[in-house]
Amino acid sequence: MTDKEKGLTEAVLFIYTLTPLHVGVGSTPEVVDLPIQREKHTGFPVIFGSSLKGAIRSNFDKDIANALFGNEDTSTQSYASAVSFTDARILLFPVKTARGIFAYVTCPFVLRRLERELKIIGINNWNGDFTDGKVHISSDGLKELEINDGLLILEEFSYNKAKGEIIEDIRPESWKVLENLFQSDSDETFKFWQEKLKKHIVVVPDEDFRYLVKHGTEIVTRIKIDDNTGVVKSGALWTEENVPTDTLFYSITLFDSRRAQKGKIFDDIRKKLDGKSIHIGGNTTIGRGFVYLKFYNGGNNG
């Protein structure tokens, strides 16, 4: 969406994890030595806006980065960034299922918050009202994920259609916000993921979702090898938390053309990032932190 009078362009940036993702907060007194970033009031995984912006900036040449994201050269004139990213909030979390490998799980709280943030930037085609305490899924999705007679198992949670716990009322065509999230025009690989996303979204009660995102992350034990001895270095053992592959976050992106330098516009960011993969967070040398990006502006993605 664009507010021409104010020179603002507003969009949603979707961030889909292609590998486990560690955007950390440093060492803490928690059980896990290096936990991921989480919202204080919900405990949900999050990518802080400063971490997201820094990772995105690193994909641009220095002059273009300065023109779009503000001048970091203290020896020259300073000016503010033309683009802002809100904290990237979680939208869909992958949860193991008894059939179908995994489902994309979300909850009413997350969907109502998305609805609120979309309306703030003038996108009104999303209704996230699933606040009845039931589990919601599409009919096709239930057929593919149930193990028998409407029994759906997500990790250690089980829901039974016969007991009235499941409602088959999700219509994929109404989820315009996720339409064409993946580039699906000609690549069969992307088509597979787009179809899975359409059919395998499951809305669970808020408290179930909070439990899943708290206990469903990956905890990895890591060591450091002494270069001289070839064995584990004394004391160099730690645990690290990762957001799993196939998690979907979203961030509200605001671009102020009045602050952009050298005639740069929002399309300079979109063309560079839309449908592309970048790295966020730590551990790039061991294959973690790679994400896929897609912008949404209220119509079809892209």
* Confidence at residue 227, expressed as pLDDT on a 0 to 100 scale: 63
Inside any domain, residue 229:
no
Pairing of strands 102-106, 151-154: unpaired
Quote the strand ranges of 59-108, DSSP E: 83-85, 88-96, 102-106
Residue range 214-225: mean pLDDT, rounded: 87
User: Model confidence at 79, in pLDDT bands (50, 70, 90)?
Assistant: confident
Long-range contacts of 179-186 (CB under 8 A, 24+ apart): 179/300, 179/301, 180/300, 180/301, 180/302, 181/14, 181/16, 181/248, 181/294, 181/301, 182/292, 182/294, 183/275, 183/302
Mean of the per-residue pLDDT values of the chain: 89
H or E element that contains 81: none
Inside any domain, residue 64:
yes
Q: How many CA atoms lie within 13 A of 280 on its CB side?
A: 31
pLDDT digits (tens, 9 = 90+) for 262-299: 889 999 999 999 999 999 998 778 888 999 999 998 76
pTM, two decimal places: 0.91
Domain count, the chain: 1
Identity of the residue numbered 76: T
Inside any domain, residue 159:
yes
Task: Write the burial class of residue 135 (CB in 10 Å: 0-12 exposed, 13-18 middle, 19+ buried).
Answer: buried
Inside any domain, residue 186:
yes
Q: What letter does residue 259 receive in the DSSP assignment?
A: T
Task: Write the burial class of residue 191 (CB in 10 Å: 0-12 exposed, 13-18 middle, 19+ buried).
Answer: middle
CA–CA distance, 142 with 151 (Å, rounded to integer): 9
Residue 210: domain span: 2-23+37-216+243-296
Asked whether residue 190 carries a pLDDT value surpassing 60, the answer given is yes
Inside any domain, residue 29:
no
Q: How many CA atoms lie within 13 A of 100 on its CB side?
A: 28
- In terms of pLDDT, which residue wins out, 284 or 190? 190
Q: Where are the alpha helices (DSSP H) in 70-146?
A: 108-120, 139-145
User: Model confidence at 226, in pLDDT bands (50, 70, 90)?
Assistant: low
Inside any domain, residue 226:
no
Cβ partners under 8 Å of residue 62, min gap 6: none
N-to-C CA span, the chain: 13
* Confidence at residue 302, expressed as pLDDT on a 0 to 100 scale: 45
Q: What letter does residue 42 receive in the DSSP assignment?
A: T
Residue range 31-36: mean pLDDT, rounded: 87
* Confidence at residue 186, expressed as pLDDT on a 0 to 100 scale: 59
Tokens of 38: 């989480």
CA–CA distance, 209 with 108 (Å, rounded to integer): 9
User: Model confidence at 26, in pLDDT bands (50, 70, 90)?
Assistant: low
Residue range 179-185: mean pLDDT, rounded: 76
Residue range 214-237: mean pLDDT, rounded: 74
pLDDT digits (tens, 9 = 90+) for 93-113: 999 999 999 999 999 999 999
Inside any domain, residue 126:
yes
Inside any domain, residue 83:
yes
Q: Choose among 21, 24, 28: nearest CA to 37.
A: 24
Quote the strand ranges of the chain, DSSP E: 2-3, 8-17, 46-47, 83-85, 88-96, 102-106, 135-136, 151-154, 157-160, 166-167, 201-203, 218-225, 232-242, 248-256, 277-279, 290-296
